[in-house]
Chains A and B, each alone.
Chain A
Amino acid sequence: MPLSVVVQITVSGALMGMVYALIAYGFQLTYATSKSLNFGQGELVMVSAFISLTLLNIGLPYVAMVPLGILFGALLGVLVERAAVRLALQQRSEGWILNTIIVGLFLVSFAENVWGRDDRPFPTPIPADPVHVLGVDVTWLEISVAVGVLAIMALIEVFKRRTLLGKAFAAVSADRDAAELMGISATRTVTLSYALSGAVAAFAGILVSPITTVEPTMAAALVLKAFSVAVEAGLESGFGVVLVGLILGALEGLASLYIGSGWRETPGLILLILALAVRPTGLFGKAIIRKV
């Protein structure tokens, strides 16, 4: 195997890993405020991608579609929180796991019936031509994914640190009860985190669709790997996901190269189980002391 091919596959894989990182970042947003996450997040990615595609098909320009698509994702996120999460959180139960799975199940079936089961190309003005960087071919599309992921994450982090609403977000993440006593509505902050998480999912869909094409089960594999990334990095750590995403993406590329393309998913899955076994709080997470 020539080294250049190995490097090429590693780099392409790592760039795809950025998408896993972005979806994983969406898990962190809701986990921070509510210790819950949306098991149907992949379906949010998929439905948002279909909606964005529909917006393009009715003649909207790409630049107008992006904010609308993200807004729609945010609305979906709010819907998930209201329908599937809020009641369970009030009851302090883990019912949200099941409820978000149910919402995801519904969305897949909905998409199958509304948009059909076929693969659909997702047009984009960004060219798919390769550029030669340091002896590796990278497409503009792949670069746009990396830039987009980092940009939206940076934007949300700035929001969390610089705005009053963002500080409320941080306060609820740190201590829900104390934040409530200070007059911050934890419920609304959780809703906000789900909106942000939905927006992030929609943006991930818009970024990745030109590469993967759009179909109802497009996000099933994506989200599984995003779970791995989130758990391995730790559900509470901010930028750790990017690093883990890059590594996992690269590993996947190498696995499909050396073991066979059917096995490309396995490194993430095995790493997830191992990570949970060795360090349940993730590489960048903090240890928990249980109190009696």
Chain B
Amino acid sequence: MLKRLVLVRGAEIALFVVLGALPLAVHSPYALALLTLLAIYGVVLIGLDVTVGYLGQVNLAQAAMLGLGAYLAGIAVTRYGVGIPLAIVLSGGFCTLVGALLALPALRLEGPQFALATLSFTALCATALNELEWLTNGAQGLQIPRPLLLGHEVDARAFFWLCTAILALVWLAMRNLLSSQWGRAFEALRDSPIATDAMGVGTYRHKVAGFAFGSGLGGAAGALYAFDLRYLQPQTFDYGLTVTLLLGVVLGGRKSLWGAVVGAALVALLPNLLSSPPLFRAFSGIAFALALVSGVRGLVRRKTDAFRALAPIAVTLTLVIGSFLASNIEDWRRAIFALLLFSVVVGLPEGLMGFASAGLARLFRVAPPDLPPPAALEQVLPARAPDGSVLLELAGLSRHFGDVRAVDGVDLTVKAGTIHGLIGPNGSGKSTLVNVVSGLYTPSGGQLRLRGAALRGGKPVAAARAGIARTFQNLQLFGGMTALDNVMVALRGAWRVPLPLVLLGLGRLEELRGQAAALALLELVSLRGEARTRAADLTYGAQRFLEIARALARRPDLLILDEPAAGLAQPDVQRLLEIIRRIHQRGITTVLIEHHMDVVSELCEIVTVLDGGKVIAEGSPAEIKRDAKVITAYLGAAEPDAPAPGAAPAPSAPAETP
């Protein structure tokens, strides 16, 4: 614990102490200007990293946010005599708003479409800044005085300290945000947006909030930028800058505050590094040596493929040769930047800090903080007495895909406190039915009622909040997160501290309570010992159990287990039976979709059989086994022209997903 405090926090404090002390040693105004730019870019890149790193989307709008923030601050100061603090708040707030408005349409998209939407936004802003001459002074540029701060003149050094202090504050706030439920939600939605919705966390809401927050930081940094340069031109904030910022994040290392600051330093300082030929020769020589060593090592150990090893070597060799041949290195600046980036992206996909932190973690082995003792299960999952009332009611529910009637008028009643089996041959519509009930599909017709209240369907978050939790036939865990975080992110009603207080670091208590509750649920599925294991590294059986624990974190009224025994080895099937029984004892209603008839007959009081999207039988497991229609559906009819038993007739509905 102490070691962690000293190493991790110590390094952060050292960074800011050194940064703050630099102007005392360096007196050149030029160097001071560069340092100020570094601090401003640091804020911009931390904001950009929210979308690029945590949401995993290529965001090309950050330069526009910087520009909007800068111009807003400039206009507020020149026209309305606003002071520095208010200007920063105004710019930050305005860009948060603009970011939210842009995110509402754009974040429904993924990948290239999102990148294109943000790219268009940047181009649009550049045009607007250029053309709205009455407001921005157009291409002539806008002169801005640096106003007094609390009645004092702000000289270059004081302004640098102001920027550094803001960078430190942003760093702290971001760290608090990322170690809260927000950070977990960001991680989760990148790993599995579907599960994030199904767990009631809300993919879209968090994406929009994350993008807006990052944009707000861009805007606030824009205000600093305006007071730093005191002269703004629209063409500064164009595609070139947005790409540079993006590359700064990637170069420094995504999903890392250190990475953002290192990236900022590189973006701010690199142009100057390139102005002196000997410096650049040395720099490219080092880069080449690094690429050569790591590339050859990777090849010899067969860890990297040929392209990833050789491309950086070839590219950095080009740089070395170029550094001796070219007379005007300054002119080649962007090409050099591109080549460097290319070798980093190919050779070190995690960025410089990702690479460095992996090495440092091996060197120091800082243990994660201790976990609290698990909470009492009664607190986390209060037992409820089954009252025999109707919990879930489907009336004529159907879902068609074109002409395919995957679910075709299903009537089904699930009583509270029961384990209700749902079986049927492949393609009988079980998965589609479950997807409709859990809100992933909009029903084509019919009614869906939970405790008598109608559910409209088609909204997984709404279904989750109404009290339905589910597991997935094809696992949808948050693979990059620990088992503990997988459960914590789904905890219902545990996260009440509002965002501003979270940013101030006041979410710690809630965090500890969440950990205790999640540990209790992990204990229920016998995974407490694996709390700190990454979900992707768990055994297959453990992953299935973790999904159950995660669904239980919703404290659901209705738990849907979608083929939980699929692919499990026999000992794990026994553990599964035990877990489902424990859940039953807590009084939670369970719908169990299963192929293993033995599991169904052992657990379920009542079983519904689907075939061709329709209910063909319902009753106790023993009754079902004797039902002629069920036998026909599974084994085929015993008619002369029918296919032989075993080769069951192909069902008409291809709803079974692989």
Contacts and interface: CB of A to CB of B under 8 A. Distances in A.
B124 A269 contact: yes
A106 B113 contact: no
Contact of B111 (A94, A103, A262, A291): A94
Interface stretch (A3-11, A109-117, A152-160): A109-117
B255 to A, nearest CB: 14
B58 A87 contact: no
B568 to A, nearest CB: 20
B108 A277 contact: yes
A36 B116 CA distance: 13
B58 A94 contact: yes
Interface stretch (B329-337, B383-391, B413-421): B329-337
Given A260-B131, A265-B127, A292-B657, A37 B112 contact: yes
Interface stretch (B8-16, B239-247, B506-514): B239-247
Nearest to A105: B338
Nearest to A27: B112
16 contacts: A39-B115, A83-B311, A87-B346, A94-B112, A101-B243, A109-B332, A112-B331, A113-B335, A231-B116, A235-B112, A260-B131, A272-B116, A276-B109, A289-B401, A292-B431, A292-B473
A97 B58 contact: yes
Contact of A291 (B116, B130, B247, B657): B657
B334 A105 contact: yes
A220 to B, nearest CB: 7
B250 interface: yes
Interface residues of B, number: 55
A280 B108 CA distance: 8
A108 B194 CA distance: 40
A109 B338 contact: yes
A103 B106 contact: no
Contacts of A291: 657
B334 A262 contact: no
Contact of A276 (B105, B124, B239): B105
A103 B58 contact: no
* Residues of B contacting A: mostly: helix
Interface residues of A, number: 47
A273 B112 contact: no
B345 interface: yes
Interface in A90-107: 94-95, 97-99, 101-103, 105-106
Contact of B124 (A220, A262, A270): A270
Given A97-B58, A227-B120, 7 more contacts: A94-B112, A220-B239, A269-B121, A272-B116, A273-B120, A274-B105, A292-B473
Nearest 6 CB-CB pairings of A with B: A277-B105, A109-B335, A106-B338, A109-B334, A105-B338, A269-B120
A149 B444 CA distance: 44
B287 to A, nearest CB: 15
A276 B338 contact: no
B236 interface: no
A258 interface: no
B105 A262 contact: no
A269 B84 CA distance: 33
B314 to A, nearest CB: 10
Contacts of A83: 311, 342
A212 interface: no
Contacts of B535: none
A106 B342 contact: yes
Contacts of A37: 112
A247 interface: no
Contacts of B311: 83
B171 interface: no
A74 interface: no
A98 B245 CA distance: 12
A266 B127 contact: yes
A284 B533 CA distance: 46
